[in-house]
Chain A
Amino acid sequence: MSLLEVRGLKVHFPIKKGIVLDRTVGQVRAVDGVDLSVEKGRTLGVVGESGCGKSTLGRAVLQLEPITAGTVVFDGEDLSRLRGSALRAMRRRMQMVFQDPLASLDPRQSVASVLAEPLRTHGVKGPYEKRVRELLDLVGLPGSAANRFPHEFSGGQRQRIGIARAIALNPELIIADEPVSALDVSIQAQVVNLLEELQERLGLTYLVIAHDLAVVRHISDDVAVMYLGSVVEIARADELYARPLHPYTIALLSAIPIPDPEVEDRRERVLLTGELPSAANPPPGCRFHSRCPFRQPTRCADEVPALRVLEGFPGSQVACHFAEQIAARELKPVHAEAAEPAATAHGTDTPPDSRRSSAGSPS
């Protein structure tokens, strides 16, 4: 059974206008109908453009945002029905790791007191020294770190402290929102490896939110791609790169540069034009149709595509009316004028998957 089940989740923020009357003039549909589930001990990655609702989704799962509609079921319990001590007990089993965990912390608080805080607030009896030492050891910091202060640590070490704080209460689910994006490239791998190691040792379940698809693909078993408040594709992490099905996923993957000139020179890009539209005023029909290079004259602009399983792709779910035809390459992307590839490096007019096969074989 899934440890976490999210069904039809919506989080809308009212847009207020007027000083006296405080009228609500609209809604920001930050999360607008998300379904997903995470099996115990596995990792689901969530990716998508800035503002597509990733953080709001993570916070809503933890009941830190008011939910407009839908349910969050954790270990069989619908969280929205829980109150008071029952909710507190559940929350203890879910923890969050932030982008820069200590940015908001009192610089006068020692690491020992940072790590003891969740224990204290959840009524764990002291003394805490032993647990603090254990936690520091788990995240690869020396015991002497306990008496030092957050600002004395590097970014990577600070993220270790943030992770130690998150696992202090032996949670089962960790929601990590951009856990490495604030770190220097050369130390991101340390934190990624630490998260993987802890998952193995402690049997943790992860929901990892990040905009870096290469990082997400690396640590996730499954990946959900979000666009403007909803999930457009969920797939096994390896499948997602090998066979992206949704036009947005195809474009996203082709936009990510790969540190290898041989691959880069051969790649065909599916470039998008225009911006992520506003969540206060999402396009009708398929949310992505205003930027979609595969857009068709029928259905795309007026019918919302449901997230569905495609025949022949059992591990994936995709929300696109024309996913079959795109997968079969019966439809080709339309390159907008501004996105015309330069003749030098990207002159070939091959469909997106053909460069993928050349990328796969280094010969």
Chain B
Amino acid sequence: MTDPSAGPLTTTSVREAVPGQVRAEPLLKIRDLTVTFASRGRAAVRAVDGVNLDVAAGSTVGIVGESGSGKSVTSLAAMGLLGRRGVEIRGSVDFDGSDLLHMPEQELRAVRGREIAMIFQDPMSSLNPVLTVGRQITEILVRHRGLSGRQARDRAAELLQSVGIGDSLRRLKSFPHQLSGGMRQRVMIAMALACEPRLLIADEPTTALDVTISAQILELLRRLVADTQTALVLITHDLGVVAGLCDTVHVMYSGRIVESAPRRPLFADPRHPYTTGLLASVPRLDAPRGVPLLPIPGSPSDTLPWARGCAFSPRCTRQVDACLGAPPVLEPLALPSHLLRCVNPVPPRKHLG
């Protein structure tokens, strides 16, 4: 379903150079998004550094990366949810022709309620503790979908059912604190689905859930994208989830995208040492046993500012002199939708048969 030529792009000029572009405009276009946190008395933190991202209707884009690499901040900044104090946001975020970064707050809020939904990493932050779950879901259905009270209640029960919460009519009367963490997470997913959004951003939507429940939710998201042409941005640290669900994958490290590709080339032919390192360090359920894991050395705190070279270089097994000095650039490989930010990439895998 993904046109290989419709990947994310480094600059607009690269975009124009892509031959055979047949796809419609992406629904969400993030260009050169840069987020800097600066509070008095502390060094400024550049959490996101020049990120470009395209998401088309009916497609799923995955963002993976180390804890602290800027995945959540990217999506929060794009949705205008970071607040204004102590944050500097640059770049542009185009949603269906309008720039979210420069939209008046009220208008932005309306777009977020009606057309864009977000599932947060921490469910408590977006549930209202003093309202029942049912009230919170029906409110959305009444306000944004124009349902009557009765219709809204039935639909709310249906939504809870669809995220695997049984006995849903009773559950609608619960307050958030009466639910387990996993259930809260699913209530939030139900609320996001209630909007029937055109764009859904899911930040680690299933990390807190058991695998059997997680599989159920991922299946739901998969069908949502296929059936309603929703555009989905999926932030996760689980490479397995990415492999099963995402059309395009962006790998982030220290605020920048270091590799992006459609999922098949990304897994069949990963080229960035961080990507290959991640893949070699997680045990696979279907791998023969006794194959030792190859950990990435060091820890995420061993990082270099991009201005001084590749941020991953202190942990990289392929580091050469050229990695230091100037920051490596994100460039397309032979497959134009496969972008890489590395001066000494892992050689292409030799394909067997």
Using a CB–CB distance below 8 Å, which chain A residues touch chain B?
49-50, 154-157, 184-190, 192-193, 211, 213-215, 217-218, 237-238, 241, 251-265, 267, 269, 271-276, 338-339, 341-345, 356, 359-360, 362-363
How many of chain B's residues touch chain A, expressed as a range? 35 or more
Residue of B at shortest CB range from A277?
B166
Residue of A at shortest CB range from B211?
A255
A185-B211 CB under 8 A given contacts A259-B240, A261-B264, A345-B244: no
B224: min CB distance to chain A, Å: 10
B294: min CB distance to chain A, Å: 7
- CA distance in complex: A317, B46 (Å): 54
- CA distance in complex: A214, B238 (Å): 12
Residue of B at shortest CB range from A257?
B240
Contacts of B292 in A (CB 8 A): 193
Query: Are A338 and B162 within 8 A (Cβ)?
Result: yes
Give 10 closest A-B pairs by Cβ, nearest first. A257-B240, A189-B295, A255-B215, A259-B239, A218-B283, A264-B244, A189-B293, A154-B299, A189-B281, A190-B295
Query: Are B210 and A49 within 8 A (Cβ)?
Result: yes
B237 at the interface (CB under 8 A from A): yes
Residue of A at shortest CB range from B210?
A49
Can you name 6 A-B residue pairings with CB atoms under 8 Å? A154-B300, A258-B243, A258-B286, A259-B242, A259-B282, A260-B243
Query: Are B282 and A214 within 8 A (Cβ)?
Result: yes
- CA distance in complex: A185, B204 (Å): 14
Contacts of A341 in B (CB 8 A): 219
Query: Are B281 and A258 within 8 A (Cβ)?
Result: no
Query: Are A218 and B278 within 8 A (Cβ)?
Result: no
A188-B282 CB under 8 A given contacts A259-B239, A271-B215: yes
Query: Are B295 and A187 within 8 A (Cβ)?
Result: yes
- How many residue pairs link A and B with beta carbons under 8 A? The number is 165
4 further interface pairs, Cβ-Cβ under 8 Å (given A49-B210, A49-B212) = A186-B281, A189-B296, A214-B284, A362-B352
- CA distance in complex: A262, B244 (Å): 9
Query: Are B214 and A255 within 8 A (Cβ)?
Result: yes
A198: min CB distance to chain B, Å: 15
- CA distance in complex: A251, B301 (Å): 38
B203: min CB distance to chain A, Å: 16
Using a CB–CB distance below 8 Å, which chain B residues touch chain A?
1, 66-67, 161-162, 164-166, 182, 210-216, 218-219, 222-223, 226, 237-244, 263-264, 267-268, 274, 277-279, 281-286, 289, 292-297, 299-301, 352-353
A252-B212 CB under 8 A given contacts A215-B283, A258-B284, A264-B240: yes
Contacts of A271 in B (CB 8 A): 212, 215-216, 219
A257-B283 CB under 8 A given contacts A185-B278, A186-B300, A217-B289: no
Query: Are B283 and A217 within 8 A (Cβ)?
Result: yes
A261-B263 CB under 8 A given contacts A184-B67, A273-B164, A276-B210: yes
Query: Are B285 and A214 within 8 A (Cβ)?
Result: yes
Query: Are A259 and B222 within 8 A (Cβ)?
Result: no
A41: min CB distance to chain B, Å: 16
B241: min CB distance to chain A, Å: 5
Query: Are B166 and A274 within 8 A (Cβ)?
Result: yes
Contacts of B300 in A (CB 8 A): 154, 184, 186-187
Contacts of B278 in A (CB 8 A): 185-186
Partner of A269 from the list B162, B164, B215, B279 (CB cut-off 8 Å) is B215
Contacts of A356 in B (CB 8 A): 286
Query: Are A154 and B301 within 8 A (Cβ)?
Result: yes
Query: Are A186 and B277 within 8 A (Cβ)?
Result: yes
- CA distance in complex: A109, B161 (Å): 49
- CA distance in complex: A273, B294 (Å): 36
A217: min CB distance to chain B, Å: 6
Query: Are A257 and B289 within 8 A (Cβ)?
Result: no
Query: Are B211 and A213 within 8 A (Cβ)?
Result: yes
A259-B211 CB under 8 A given contacts A214-B283, A273-B164, A344-B226: no
- CA distance in complex: A339, B222 (Å): 12
B204: min CB distance to chain A, Å: 12
- CA distance in complex: A133, B182 (Å): 42
- CA distance in complex: A254, B211 (Å): 9
Between B165, B219, B264, the greatest number of chain A beta carbons within 10 A of the residue's beta carbon is seen for B219
A186-B222 CB under 8 A given contacts A217-B289, A264-B243, A272-B212: no
Contacts of B212 in A (CB 8 A): 49, 251-252, 255, 271-272
Query: Are B67 and A253 within 8 A (Cβ)?
Result: no
Query: Are A192 and B283 within 8 A (Cβ)?
Result: yes
- CA distance in complex: A189, B182 (Å): 26
Query: Are B210 and A211 within 8 A (Cβ)?
Result: yes
Partner of A185 from the list B213, B281, B352 (CB cut-off 8 Å) is B281
Query: Are A257 and B244 within 8 A (Cβ)?
Result: yes
Partner of B289 from the list A155, A238, A256, A343 (CB cut-off 8 Å) is A238
A218-B289 CB under 8 A given contacts A50-B182, A154-B301: yes
- CA distance in complex: A351, B203 (Å): 33
A360-B286 CB under 8 A given contacts A186-B278, A193-B293, A255-B215: yes
Contacts of B285 in A (CB 8 A): 213-214, 217, 241, 253, 256, 258
A152: min CB distance to chain B, Å: 10
Partner of B299 from the list A156, A264, A272 (CB cut-off 8 Å) is A156
Residue of B at shortest CB range from A355?
B286
B101: min CB distance to chain A, Å: 30
